[in-house]
Amino acid sequence: MLNLCNVHKTFNIGTINKKTALCGIDLHLNEGDFVTVIGGNGAGKSTMLNAIAGVWPVDEGTISINGIPVTALPEYKRAPYIGRVFQDPMMGTAANMEIEENLALAFRRGHRRTLRWGIGKSERGLYRQALEKLGLGLENRMTSKVGLLSGGQRQALTLLMATLQKPKLLLLDEHTAALDPATASKVLELSDQFIAENHLTAMMITHNMTDAIRHGNRLLMMNAGKIILDISGAEKQKLKKADLLQKFAEISGTQEETDEVLLS
């Protein structure tokens, strides 16, 4: 499904701010994998997702999605394969456009933008149904500007937009980090639901270890630009938070207390 082969990325090469962010990432995702990704700040989690999404070109290595090589494709050309939700709820939606206009934009992800009308006649019913699934009452506010919505509502909408046109791969970059606990768990629940319903292959970055253990069928831990732990299947089912903290301490060779601070 997704293949990353020896991917390297260094930022600010040739300056004193040089930072090696990805250091030889090899990763293979199977169809339908739901992978949670954990790791301290600066471990390279977001960088890995951005490399897959094509925010910038990688320095070395290859990336392919569903057998299609995308290493040389810019972000907008990879968009047909990828649905994304970002950490910042403001980032995934157009604030001064209506809810239905945002959905219509997302509905056309991967299609040429022609001179046909921006929202087809039959689409509104589809959007209404999709919005009803969110359970936020947005189906009654379809012509409201998205800028009027709360962060949680916008994040739920972004999630819907990312999956409206079924993506080959769904990338969730700490998409609940900016939300209050109740809203965060609601958005997380929706994510689970959408991924299961559409049989999506997904990657989710989180700082919450419990979430990382509870969700998905596979867990990656990253440190210093490398994947240092890759647990899946039955082994992941048995995983406890304490195990993760210990594993992190073992592999990264740092103290457990500091890890707790970093990862809890």
Instruction: Decide: 12 and 194 in contact? Cβ < 8 Å.
Output: no
> Residue 161, interface with other proteins (CB under 8 A)?
yes
- Sign for the CA dihedral angle at 52, 53, 57, 62 comes to positive
Between 127 and 248, name the residue whose CB sits nearer to other proteins: 127
Select from 26-34, 60-68, 110-118, 234-242 the region that touches other proteins (CB under 8 A): 110-118
Instruction: Decide: 30 and 205 in contact? Cβ < 8 Å.
Output: no
> Residue 77, interface with other proteins (CB under 8 A)?
yes
Residues 6+ apart with CB under 8 A from 189: none
> Residue 128, interface with other proteins (CB under 8 A)?
no
Between 170 and 179, name the residue whose CB sits nearer to other proteins: 170
Cβ 125 to other proteins shortest distance, Å:
19
Number of residues that bind other proteins (CB under 8 A): 32
> Residue 122, interface with other proteins (CB under 8 A)?
no
Phi first, then psi: give them for residue 180, nearest 5 degrees: -70, 160
Instruction: Report the relative pairing of strands 34-39 and 2-11 from DSSP bridges.
Output: unpaired
Between 88 and 230, name the residue whose CB sits nearer to other proteins: 88
Exposure letters 48-76 (e unless 16+ CB within 10 A, then b) = bbbbbbbeeebeebebebeeeebbebeee
State which of residues 24, 42, 110, 151 lies at the interface with other proteins (CB under 8 A). Answer: 110
Q: Return residues touching other proteins (CB under 8 A).
A: 53, 75-77, 79-80, 82, 84, 86, 90-97, 101, 104-106, 108-111, 113-118, 161
